[in-house]
Amino acid sequence: MAIRRVLVPIRNDGKGENVLDHALALTGKTGHIEAVHCRPAPDDLLPFGVSVPAILREQISKSGDDLAKAEEAQITKQFEDYADARGLVLVEIGKPHPKNKLTATWRIERGKQANMVSARGRLADVVAVAKPDRDRAMGRNTLEAALVNTGSLVMMCPPLSPPEKIGNHIAVAWNGSREAARAVSLAMPLLAAASTVSVMTMAGEKLELTGAHLLNFLSDHDIKAAHVEIKAGSNAGKALLEGAKSVDADCLLMGAYGSSRGREMVFGGATQYVVDHANMPVLMAH
């Protein structure tokens, strides 16, 4: 079973094209890209916790609606130009599309992007999102919604051009946890299609389910993999990224937020380090 449907949320932040490039590098020459732009609801434009007179509320709503329409026209044109340049076949929403071609749909919805991702991401093989911009406090809610609320595999895309093919060499971060096992399960189509799979474990770490256990499981599915031990050091997230780079992987596959998300954001953790510092595509599951 191949990766067929990739959900790509797009906002007017200049990151949409890069995320679409990553989605295409993941799916290859066949697959379906579901691109969605969200228009803010009128109440989302009002200041939080402040009483706003009715006449001002109406003015803000109308102004926001006018701006949203102009933005939607611009983003729609950009997506259509992108699809034309990349050879994507645009199909109508809800209509059958050819399985032997690279197809796409374009949708505009009203509401918060994180809410849309939480719902529509449940019927996607992969949810592709931009790496959050911590300095501008953008993108974290979307990434967390994809991870926590969808049950799907999530691909975080760094602001760099993707490799020609994502998934040719996959580095698997393995610690035997439920999250790591779920990531492997969801990524089985990618692992089966990969030329090289490197299973990384931390040297000296005692695991109930070892790297050898995972290699045996993958072998049962005719997936050949190599076991690589990496030095843990004091920062597991840094070790994972350096380990993936050292084996020349094009992406990292890992379980996400094995600890509390709040605790990781406050005190740091492997997932949060990877989210903040990754410069390669990261495939994650929670």
* CATH value of 169-285 in 3.40.50.620, 3.40.50.300, 3.40.50.800, 3.30.420.40: 3.40.50.620
* Fold type of domain 5-157: Rossmann fold (3.40.50)
Closest CA to 200 of 178, 170, 163: 170
- The domains spanning 5-157 and 169-285 adopt the same CATH topology: yes
The predicted model gives 224-243 an average pLDDT of 93
- Choice between 113 and 69, residue whose per-residue pLDDT is larger: 113
Task: Identify the band that residue 275 occupies on the pLDDT scale cut at 50, 70 and 90.
Answer: very high
Task: Identify the band that residue 267 occupies on the pLDDT scale cut at 50, 70 and 90.
Answer: very low
* pTM, two decimal places: 0.90
What are the domain boundaries of the chain? Answer: 5-157, 169-285
Given this model, what pLDDT does residue 39 score? 86
- Distance, in Å, from the CA atom of 253 to the CA atom of 126, rounded to the nearest integer, reads 13
SS3 of 75, please? helix
Outline where 101-139 has alpha helix (H). 113-120
| Percent of the chain residues topping a pLDDT of 70 | 87
Question: Rg (Cα) of the chain, in Å, rounded?
Answer: 20
pLDDT tens digits for range 4-26 = 999 999 998 889 999 999 999 99
Rounded to the nearest integer, the mean pLDDT of the chain is 89
Structure token digits, residue 38: 């969200």
Given this model, what pLDDT does residue 268 score? 45
Q: What is the DSSP string of the chain?
A: ----EEEEE--SSS-HHHHHHHHHHHHTTSEEEEEEEEEPPGGGGSPTT----HHHHHHHHHHHHHHHHHHHHHHHHHHHHHHHHHT-EE--TTS---TTSEEEEEEEEES-HHHHHHHHGGG-SEEEEEPPBTTTTBSHHHHHHHHHHS-SEEEEE-SSPPPSSTTSEEEEE--S-HHHHHHHHHTHHHHHH-SEEEEEEETT---SS-HHHHHHHHHHTT---EEEEE--TT-HHHHHHHHHHHTT-SEEEEE--SS-HHHHHHH--HHHHHHHH--S-EEEE-
Burial code (b: 16+ CB inside 10 Å, e: under 16) for 211-222 equals beebbeebeeee
Given this model, what pLDDT does residue 265 score? 46
pLDDT beyond 80 at 188: yes
- Choice between 71 and 105, residue whose per-residue pLDDT is larger: 105
| Percent of the chain residues topping a pLDDT of 90 | 71
